[in-house]
């Protein structure tokens, strides 16, 4: 389906998770979305990806909104909060289940790790499909007794149910797209709903992008491989296909990408040091004088 089938004008979104404070990498992604939305004459939306209630905290969301406002970013409408839309993900799962494409998995993360030395594109242990071969009776018995289960996509059956060739239009940070072939098999039987989550990232963002009528997904290159799974889910669920623009990443002094887990300097910390929003915009390549603030992109 053509991207312009979504809406009269382009729609972009910035989608942070409130499990920590924003850093320069988040700022770069948000500003890329803002810049492309302006260039295309489109709308810019905000999504709060807060399904993991154990890690996502209200104070982090408040800080995110403050940081984005300080940077001068303006979004149309109220944010879509994933935690408020579990029914949307349940409906998508039900459609996949009706076609026999998902199954309950009772394996713990430790069991998965012990059973496989292979890794998916994110570096996580590749699931060997232990529970895929359980009989319906065994699955029903274990669920009836209260065993907790994740829902996994049966990747082999899913690929067989989808078009022979799945591609997407990849723009990167340019204006000329290339056709990229999806390789969802590299991910194995991905989890679509965890034991304590209504949906995992792969399913939630695919459903959200369709419901928010997103025409252009702008996000970091570290999520390029995940697009293969998202394109497969779009085909299976009959959802439109956005254009994709995977941008460069902001690096620290060691050449590693910025991340919350590495405790990269936050926007709030930079603000307290006297760095201005204009300096950050300029250092990240969005015009003006960076005042000596140095940022590496790759």
Question: What is the secondary structure of 140-155 as a DSSP string?
Answer: HHHHHTT---EEEE-H
Q: Does residue 60 have a pLDDT over 50? A: yes
Report the C-alpha gap between 104 and 109 in whole angstroms. Answer: 14
CB under 8 Å to 260, separation ≥6 — which residues?
Answer: 19, 20, 21, 23
Helix, strand or coil, per DSSP, at residue 162: coil
Q: Looking at residue 2, what is its pLDDT?
A: 41
Strands 11-14 and 102-105: unpaired
Half-sphere exposure of 258 (CA within 13 A, CB side): 25
pLDDT per position as a tens digit, 126-159: 998 999 999 999 999 999 999 999 999 999 999 9
Task: Using the predicted structure, report yes or no on whether residue 230 has a pLDDT greater than 90.
Answer: yes
- Residues 40-69: what's their mean pLDDT? 96
Stretch (H or E) spanning 169: strand 167-170
- The pLDDT of residue 128 is 87
| pLDDT over 70 at 1, yes or no | no
**Angle at alpha carbon of residue 36, lines to 11 and 44, rounded to 5°:** 35
Per-residue pLDDT, 234: 98
Can you give the pLDDT at residue 6? 47
Identify the CATH number of the domain in which residue 155 sits: 3.40.50.620
Mean pLDDT across the chain: 93
At residue 8, the pLDDT reads: 62
**Domain count along the chain:** 1
Alpha-carbon distance 159 to 163, whole Å?
Answer: 8
Which band of pLDDT confidence, cut at 50, 70 and 90, is reported for residue 207? very high
Domain that holds residue 185: 3-297
Question: What is the model's pLDDT at position 262?
Answer: 74
Confidence band of 261 (pLDDT split at 50, 70, 90): confident
Collapsed DSSP state (helix, strand, coil) of residue 179? strand
């Amino acid at each position: 389906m053509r991207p312009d089938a979504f809406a009269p004008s382009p729609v972009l979104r910035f989608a942070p998770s409130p499990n920590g404070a924003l850093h320069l990498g988040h700022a770069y992604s948000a500003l890329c979305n803002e810049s492309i939305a302006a260039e295309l004459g489109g709308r810019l939306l905000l999504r709060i990806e807060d399904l993991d209630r154990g890690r996502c905290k209200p104070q982090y969301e408040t800080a995110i909104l403050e940081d984005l406002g300080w940077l001068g970013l303006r979004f149309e409408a109220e944010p879509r909060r994933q935690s408020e839309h579990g029914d949307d993900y349940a409906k998508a799962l039900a459609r996949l289940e009706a076609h026999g494409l998902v199954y309950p998995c009772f394996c713990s993360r430790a069991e998965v790790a012990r059973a496989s030395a292979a890794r998916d594109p994110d570096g996580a242990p590749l699931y060997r499909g232990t529970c895929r071969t359980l009989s319906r009776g065994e699955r029903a018995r274990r669920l009836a007794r209260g065993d907790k289960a994740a829902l996994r996509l049966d990747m082999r059956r899913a690929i067989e149910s989808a078009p022979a060739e799945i591609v997407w239009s990849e723009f990167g940070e340019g204006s000329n797209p290339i056709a990229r072939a999806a390789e969802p098999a590299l991910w194995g039987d991905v989890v679509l709903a965890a034991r304590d989550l209504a949906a995992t990232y792969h399913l939630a963002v695919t459903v959200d992008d369709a419901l928010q009528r997103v025409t252009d997904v702008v996000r970091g290159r570290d999520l390029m491989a995940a697009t293969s799974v998202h394109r497969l889910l779009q085909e299976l669920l009959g959802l439109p296909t956005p254009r994709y623009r995977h941008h460069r990443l902001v690096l620290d002094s060691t050449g590693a990408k910025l991340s919350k887990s590495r405790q990269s300097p936050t926007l709030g910390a930079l603000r307290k040091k006297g760095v201005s929003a204009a300096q950050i915009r300029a250092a990240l390549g969005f015009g003006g004088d960076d005042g000596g603030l140095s940022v590496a992109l790759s």
